[in-house]
Amino acid sequence: MRTLKRGISLALLVSGILAGCGGGGGGGGGSSTPAASSPLEGVYEGPSSSGKTIDALFLEDGSWWNMYGIPSGSALLVQGVATGTSTGSNGSFTITFKDYYAPGTTPVSGSGSGTYTATTLLGTITEGGVNGTFNLTTPLTTNYNYNTPAALASISGSWTGSLLDGESATVSVLTSGTLSGTSSLGCSFTGTATPRPSGKNVFNVSVTFGAAPCSFPNQSMSGIALTYPLGNGTNQLIVGLVDSTQTKASAFFAAR
């Protein structure tokens, strides 16, 4: 994926962020009912030729999310978010996406293709006129089980982490799924997190930001969230968000 011009200072994404097994029926962002299963559905991680580590989640409706960055111990220095659509059949797949590598910049469109098995995704990618390759596999299920229903109890409580623009933030999630947060520069936001109706271990999330100094004042975004153990006694929370026009994105990464 594209090299980010502005890195995140907090190492919060585990290298096995989406560890689990492919297959099954997670829903797409905002879906109210489960859709037909995609042959790519599941979670994958691995390297790209750019030197970035890719952690990708493919959902049964054909949508997919990618968080990428540089590994740091058992975590990842997150540098960007990409999301788009995918198709797969008879061992071959194609993807299209937008790469949101820094707040306030225009997302870069990209596409890719390759081959898949039950545990691998091998392919090439083109973004901004630059070509690259990736080699992804499904991680072990010990850290995160995609095929287990998401539980609000796993994300309830307080999380302190970072937004994609580099600000630190504290987010509180009630047992009902209602959430609220404040960033280090004074941006306040509210929203909801609900288990996806597919019964997979992913949450649907919607967030509305307050007035300035928020990077996206009075704007709403939606996307996905999941949580999993890091293996060192702490748990990771990751949230990826895009707006309805797919021109802006945000993310929140935290561990506790």
Tell whether the torsion through CA atoms of 235, 162, 72 and 40 is positive or negative: positive
Q: How far apart are CA 225 and CA 230, in angstroms?
A: 16
131 and 160, same structural domain? Answer: no
Does residue 213 have a cis bond before it (omega within 30 degrees)?
yes
Q: Do 111 and 192 sit in the same domain of this protein?
A: no
How do residues 2-45 score in pLDDT, each as one tens digit? 222 222 222 223 223 332 223 333 333 333 344 457 889 888 88
Question: Is residue 104 located within the same domain as residue 169?
Answer: no
**Given this model, what pLDDT does residue 156 score?**
97
* pLDDT score for 26: 32
d(CA 255, CA 196): 22
Angle (CA) 42 65 6, round 5° = 140
Residues in the chain: 256
pLDDT digit string (tens) for 82-126? 999 999 999 999 999 999 977 667 899 999 999 999 899 999 999
Model pLDDT, residue 27: 32
Q: Tell which of 74, 108, 137 closes a domain.
A: 137
Domain of 28 in residue numbering reads as: 11-137
Mean pLDDT of the chain: 81
CATH number at residue 106: 2.40.128
- The count of domains in the chain is 2
**100 and 29 assigned to the same domain:** yes
